[in-house]
Structure 1
Amino acid sequence: MWADQVQTSDPRIAKLKREEKAAKEAKKKEKEKAARKAEEEAKKAAEETQRIKEQKEAEAKQKQLEEKKVKEAKRKAIRTERKSIRNYVKSNNYFHPDSTTLSAELLATQISELDSILENLSLEESQSLRKRLDASANRESAKTVLKDEAARLIEKGVLRSETIKHYGPDVAVKSTAEVQKIAAFIKAANKFRPGVANRWSQISEYVAQHSGNPPRTSEELIKKSKEVQRGAIALDEEDVRKLQLLKKHSDTRITEEPSIREATINYDDPTRLTTETKTITSESSKAKSPSSDKPTCKKNNAADNTIDNAANNTKDAAGSASDASNQSWSASQQTQLERALQEYPKNYKGTADRWDLIAAAVEGKTKKECRARVKYLVEQVKAAKRVSK
């Protein structure tokens, strides 16, 4: 009791208690202040995140609206150009004489073909076509402009030739142009041989200059080269005669990559290739020997002529192989080729190109020369078999 009264009346104890209480209050307020500050910062961060999100959404929406406006303006411009072209063709009676009354069926067909052409044109292409039509001197020249555009789309693969009859390119004109283009391409391919700097660019310029067609890309030229090599270009007999007339006495065979599709033996069998090569060499030596029997030579020549006449369709392929045979091949190079064919057979599954590896194994010979050598040997084996029969 007395102790409690002393503590209550002692100012020092009272002061100590007040200080402890004040410290607790201050600590409590500090915690509350820190909590309020953290809450405010979190709120500000959330508001900033929401603001950025809304801003991005607004920008994306604005961009979509602008893109939509641009697309709509482009569509409107295309519709305007197409309408102008349709009105032009209609005002010229679809390129028929004014006195001609078109039947409903013919009119529907020509409108359908015109729509097919216009639907595959971009805005720039539609504008160009409309300007060329407006600049045409007469109805016939305007029709030619439209036919040229249809021919371009057909060649590009956008339209099928069988769906465009009235506005499609004339068969005779198309055939002649195709013949001239093929002849120019073959001459260019043989003029600018592999190894020439910017070879395909020079071939493109040459073909464009001599055929009147626009320059082609390297990919298009390489594709055309493969088509010509494998005979995928369909020409009738008249076109073939025209092509032969255009080439005159020049060599119009593409010899860049000799084809070996016509071979009937497995040239990748090095054992067989070596044996038959030796046989060919032996027979060639006997044929060149002064002691050869003349009647036998005449018989062989007659047989060769008979074979040549019977195999006229493969004359060019044999010619390519003969050209390749004129290149000098030493015995060591021949051995290296045979070993490489054995090391890299036809079923080679490596990532590198098989013929590149074969060429690398033969000293002083390129990939083309190695393929041509194999082609030549195969043709010689076939010829020897035909003669023996």
Structure 2
Amino acid sequence: MTFTVDVRGSLSPPTIAYVYPFGLAYFDYQCSRYNLVGQEGDVDSEDEKEQLSESDIVIDVKYIKSLEAKDWKEQDHYRVLGIPNLRVKASTKDVKKAYKYMVLKCHPDKSQGNTKVDEEAFTCIQKAYEQLCVIDGKRAYDSIDPNFDNEVPNVTEHNKQNFYKVFGPVIERNAQWSINKNVPMLGSDSDEIDYVNDFYNFWYDFKSWREYSYLDEEERDKADCKEERRYLDKLNKQERVRRKKEEMTRMRQIVDNCYACDPRIKAFNEDRKKRKLEAKLAKQEAYRQEQEALRLQKEEEERIRKEEEEKRIQQEKEKAEAEKKERQKQNKLLKGERKKVRDFVKNNKYFCKNEDNVVKAMENMEILLQGLAIDDLKQLNSLNESVNEFSKLYNSFMSSHLEAQETKTKENLIKAKQSQEQHKDQSISSDKFSPQDIAILVKAVKIYPPGTVNRWNTIADYLNQHSAVCKSYVSKDIIQKVKNLQSKEGDDLKTKVNEQAFNNFEKSQKQRIDGVVAGGGISSKDTMNSALIDTSDAANDKKKKLPWSAEEQKLLEEGLKKFPQSVGPQRWDEIAKLVGSRSKKDCMRRYKDLVEQIKAKKAKQ
């Protein structure tokens, strides 16, 4: 506040004097202006406690006298108020107490001695107090405190070896920006993994109250209108956001570097890898043991199986040996019994009254002895003391055996007769093949070699299609006829077919020659030569065909598409019908020529 005194008359010239506000009333005015006090006292946060004594306030008179009011923003406000050591830790109560002390000691009008400063320096003290006595203002200045160390330690071997010495102070001084009060510190090597995880979870999700409104370059109070103030606010906001992002990037880099250098993380990772490896090895060992158990079980089962197999083979062998011995014993007994019967019958002259029947009786006896069982032989030998009883039983066995032989012979004759009739039926069914059909069959067998799908049915269809005699051949007839042709009789049939075909050809040529001789009187030799020449010429003329037209080629291609190979033997007949002007052989020959042309072109390429 400035007062001007105008003295007129004999008084001295007027002077201008500056009066500075001072006292408790002004202090209360300032506190009420910034909402720091009420009618009954302080309204600071309840957890703030006064930690400053007058002896702790250091008045740097030299520094204060060097200040200029216009540069108040670049000044160290804590140093101006005499509390350079507290800084961010200073509460609003500490700021008020320091301000009161500074006013008493440094006021231009009230103070005396070395601590007295001029009006401009005292203005800097007021500006520092106005900035720090408000919580928001104090936070704004603390956020850009020039004495705060913003260093980010790098990831180096030295920092890894001195991890707690390097990163402990960094974490501790940056913890002051946390909105949350319970900030975990770096800790030590003895920390558990849960604490370390909680530490990094907190710092990776760090919420900072640090802001940069103190560095606003544009002063909105100097704006002339509302629009200009809004524009200045927008510019200041953009700049604050940019600095805030840089701060968050710095904090994230600190945490990243701390994590990279943390020996506990390395130890935990190695321990986790070790446990994982141990678990893997344990799993592999369990699997190996399981496989070993399975292998031993299989070996045991294989051993038991082999023992059982050897035991079974041994039992079968012993059983076979026993059966063999028993059989040899029975054969020996049987031979002995047969010899007794044979000797007894021989001694009694085979029970024949007529010597002419002895040979027949001997044959019958041998046949009977081979057919009788050992019990029957024993029964006969038990009666060797009584010739009559032996003779009766012997004749009884003989008659029964002869009747059985006769019955068996009749059955064999019946079976042979049935077999002959069946063979006769088969030969009758094969007789329906004419010589021309046999020739066609031989050709079809060559066209459709073994391996052809449904070979015999295909050959039967081919035969039915080309035969002029019979159209009812089936696969069974074809198989039977081929077997006959492959036998000795079949070889004779093939020879007969060839001979008959040659005879037919010779006969036709002879008739033609006779006709020529009767008409012209040419010698038989010349006639034969001319006939052969005519025949060859006719054959050559037959082979010479007109070239394929575009229409015929188009019809051939349509036929190949319309009738694929799956149609069977009738494929080329259908294609020839579709073309119309060409035979089946012409179509097949044309197809082969086209295939060869295509292959030749591909070979050239």
Structure with max Cα Rg: 2
TM-score above 0.5: no
TM-score, normalisation: structure 2: 0.23
Larger RCO: Structure 1 or Structure 2 (Cα < 8 Å, ≥ 6 residues apart)?
A: 1
